[in-house]
Amino acid sequence: MPIRRIRVFPDPILRKKCRVVRRVDDKVTDLANDMIETLDAAGGVGLAANQVGALQRVVILHLPGDEDSIVLINPEIRDTEGEREVIEGCLSFPGFEGMVKRSVTVKARWLDENGSKMKITTEDLFAQALEHEIDHLNGILYIDHLLEHEKLATAGSYVDPEEPHMHDVEVELHADHSDDDDAEPEESDIEVVHTTIKFSDLYSEDSVDKMHYDLRKTGYVIDPPKPTDQTHDHVESDDPHLDGGVILDPDHSH
The pLDDT of residue 159 is: 39
| Residue type for position 215 | L
Q: How many other CB atoms sit within 10 Å of the CB of residue 33?
A: 16
Q: Is the dihedral angle over the CA atoms 89, 93, 99, 104 positive or is it negative?
A: negative
For 197-206, what is the mean pLDDT?
A: 77
Domain locations along the chain: 12-217
The pLDDT of residue 46 is: 96
Helices (DSSP H) in 25-123: which residue ranges?
26-42
Query: Which pTM does this prediction carry?
Result: 0.73
For 212-237, what is the mean pLDDT?
A: 70
Q: How far apart are CA 29 and CA 32, in angstroms?
A: 5
Buried b (16+ CB within 10 A) or exposed e, 227-243: eeeeeeeeeeeeeeeee
Per-residue confidence at 173, pLDDT binned at 50, 70, 90? very low
Q: What percent of the chain has pLDDT over 90?
A: 60
Q: How far apart are CA 44 and CA 223, in angstroms?
A: 26
Residue 80 has pLDDT above 70, yes or no: yes
**Which residue is catalytic, options 37, 67, 133, 186?**
133
Residue 248 has pLDDT above 70, yes or no: no
**212 versus 228: which is more confidently predicted?**
212
| Residue type for position 129 | A
Fold of 12-217: Peptide Deformylase (3.90.45)
List phi, psi (to 5°) of 231.
-105, -10
* Residues 154-165: tens digit of each pLDDT: 875 423 444 333
For residue 189, give the DSSP letter.
G
Residue 136 has pLDDT above 60, yes or no: yes
Counts for the chain of helices (H) and strands (E), in that order: 4, 10
The pLDDT of residue 149 is: 75
67 is catalytic: no
Cβ-count burial of 18 within 10 angstroms (0-12 exposed, 13-18 middle, 19+ buried)?
Answer: buried
Per-residue confidence at 254, pLDDT binned at 50, 70, 90? very low
- Distances in Å between the alpha carbon of 35 and those of 4, 40, 60, 119? 7, 8, 7, 21
Per-residue confidence at 12, pLDDT binned at 50, 70, 90? very high
Min mean pLDDT across 53-57, 121-125, 195-199 is at: 195-199
- Distances in Å between the alpha carbon of 110 and those of 21, 126, 130, 170? 11, 14, 11, 32
The pLDDT of residue 2 is: 86
Residue 107 has pLDDT above 80, yes or no: yes
Residue 26 has pLDDT above 90, yes or no: yes
The pLDDT of residue 194 is: 40
Q: Is the dihedral angle over the CA atoms 51, 217, 223, 135 positive or is it negative?
A: negative
Residue 196 has pLDDT above 90, yes or no: no
DSSP of 159-176? --TTSPPTTSEEEEEEEE
Residue 92 near residue 7 (C-beta atoms within 8 A): yes
Q: What percent of the chain has pLDDT over 70?
A: 70
For 203-207, what is the mean pLDDT?
A: 89
> Mean pLDDT over all residues of the chain?
80
The pLDDT of residue 222 is: 79
The pLDDT of residue 1 is: 61
